[in-house]
Structure formats: C-alpha cells, structure tokens
Chain A
C-alpha cells in the first residue's frame, strides 16, 4: 500500500479522512463505555458481560486495523517518538505546522492511551468477580479467589483512569473547536473533512479486509468468553452438560 505514491487532493475539497471501520469503532466505544458504567452501577452484570465481550472484540479489531487498515488508522503512520512530538508542538506554537492529515503526533498518545486503558480494563474484567463470587468474568476460574478479589478492586479503580483520559480527550476536542476553530467531531461522523491546502490523500483500505479483521476479532472474543478452551475441546453445545443457570436466575 505504501509503495504507490500518494495522490494529492485538490485544496478546499472534502477528503476521505476516517474510514467506516474507524468511525464505527470510535462511536461504539462511546456507547459501550457508557453502557459498561451504567450496567456496573445498576448490577446488570448480564449486560455488563455481553457488552464487555463486544468491546473486547472491538479493541482487538482496532489493533488489527492499526496494522493493516487505512493509512489514517495505522499505528505506523501516526505513532511518533518524543522528538516528533516536540517538533509538532514547536510548530504548533509558531503557527507554522502543516495540518496533520489524521492523528497529529500528540493526539497519537491519546489514541494509544485510550486503547491501552480500554484493553487493560477489559483484560481485568475477564478475571474479576462480584461480591459473592457467583457472577464473574469468563477467565475468573484461572485465578484464585484472592487474586480475583484484588483484580476486581483494580477493575473499579481503572474506570477512574478511563474517565480521566476521556475528559482529556473531550477537553482537546473543545480546545480545537473553540480556540482553534477546528471541528473534529463532524469528520469523525461523516469521515470527511476539508483541508485548505492540497494534501496527500489517505489510502482507504477495502471493506472486505475490515470484515476479515472483524471476523478474527469476534472469534477471539468468543473463544475468550468460553474460557480459552484448548483446541479440540468440544464446542459448548456439543458437550453433554445441561445449561448453566442463567445469571438472572440468581440475581
């Protein structure tokens, strides 16, 4: 993909910036985090587990998409070292910086931070348990009661870190909106934005590739939800065991 020279766009015309998968994942995170908070507060753990597994799949998908997806989704294209971040900030201060097509080097930290903390939180949730150790994550059986108890407390604490990162994320959007007069929200909805100058057109990856990544991510999430059974284990529906009582029956 990177071997072909980038096409330049005409100045002042809408450019396809964020592809559909990036936007879908982004807004799913917004809804998903809200649902996870609400379901935890209201002891709707059945919902909490389902949405948690969807979020696991979404994070895995986003990581895959960061490797093989569209140019603006790829980590290699926007994650930069401290030198590049300093240079960006210096250019930003002097007002000489060219408009980043996609994430700027500082914003890249926000992407990594948010994805990382979401991954951590979901990972902890897989091992966490409720007060009476009846409701628990799908991998809870791999750790001891005391380990799971500590993980559960940490799971509650990490949510505060997520809130902090979300607050920073929203503050940055408001800063761009009202100080720099730059609307970042509508490109995340429509996928398009207008650049005043001619820019290298982002390469949009084909949708079938996104479907392959989504299938892989979903398979991993389902496998985890079954408790990481080793290969060649019969599928749950092939096992001669009756159904586990539904969570709601003892809630």
Chain B
C-alpha cells in the first residue's frame, strides 16, 4: 500500500513537468508573434496604402479606357469619366513618395530606391504622366476617338516610362 502510494506521489510531478514544458513550447511562438505585432501597432506609414490605391485607381481608369477601344463601339462618356479619374489621380503621384517609404521600410512595395537617388528624373517622369493625363482629359472632352486613342496611348507611354526606371519589374 505504501509503495503504491509513493508512485501516486511521483506520477503527478512528472505530469506537471511535462505540462509546463508543453505550455512553454506553446507559448514561445505566441510570444514571438506578439512582439512584432506590438511593434507594428505603431503602424506602417499610411502612404503605402494611399499610394497603392492611387496607382490601382489609375490602372482601373486605363483598363476602362482600353476596354472601350476593344469593344465594337466605344462609349465616349465612359472614356471621359476614366480620363477625369486618371487626371485626378496623376497629380497625386509625386506626393506619395516621401523619404523613407522605399523598400528599406520593410513594407511590400515595388518602389525602387532610384526614386530617391535620382529625384529630378523621378519628378520629370511624374510630370510627364500629369501632362499626358491632362492631354488625355482634353482629348476625351472633345469626344473625337481619333484624338482620344493617341492621347490614351501617350498616358500608357508615361506609365511605362516611369515603371521602366522606378518600379521593380514583375517577376
């Protein structure tokens, strides 16, 4: 009886030890996850999302425009709406690249360091977009597809011009 009792005493100790170990192994990753999330609570600069959304708005406007060209009959009103959206977004581009919002920030971004290394070139590329977008807006307002198409093409050229030097190529 005493012998049996003693094993009963030993057993719980072993169990407690293993539970502690299990708890520790469970909690370690939790702790590891909590620390970075606390750091992130300070948050990435809101500019990343604003900038992404702005580019996406321009992409949508470009797609909306070229969609019309692919249809048997283009809807000029739809093109005008896209041209206005594009011109409104284009002027914001330059302001969405403050220092410290490059790849070094650790956020998901396709922005290349060249933007901050060659600010004059980047500024010129952004201005070219603004100019092309204005030209496209004017052409769209005229309602003449013969003018609209080359003007939309010029906007596409300004997208590519900037992407070639300042955007990480898509893999």
The majority secondary structure among interface residues of chain B is helix
Query: CA–CA, A234 to B72, complex, Å?
Result: 8
Query: CA–CA, A234 to B68, complex, Å?
Result: 16
Which A residues between 122 and 152 are near B, CB-CB below 8 angstroms? 129, 131-136, 138, 140-141, 145, 148
Count of residues in B whose CB is under 8 Å from the partner chain: 30
A141 touches B60 (CB 8 A): no
| A3 on interface, CB distance cutoff 8 Å | no
| B163 on interface, CB distance cutoff 8 Å | yes
| B26 on interface, CB distance cutoff 8 Å | no
- Tally of A-B Cβ pairs under 8 angstroms: 79
In the complex, per-residue mask of B61-76: 1 if CB is within 8 Å of any chain A CB, else 0: 0110011111110100
Q: How far is the CB of B60 from chain A (nearest CB, A)?
A: 5
Q: Which residues of B contact A242 (CB under 8 A)?
A: 145-146, 149
Which B residues between 38 and 90 are near A, CB-CB below 8 angstroms? 56, 58-60, 62-63, 66-72, 74
A-B contacts, 6 of them at CB < 8 A, read A129-B63, A135-B156, A145-B63, A241-B74, A244-B149, A251-B156
- A residues bordering B, Cβ < 8 Å? 129, 131-136, 138, 140-141, 145, 148, 156, 227, 229-230, 233-234, 239, 241-245, 249-251
- B residues bordering A, Cβ < 8 Å? 56, 58-60, 62-63, 66-72, 74, 145-146, 149-150, 152-157, 159-160, 163, 167, 170-171
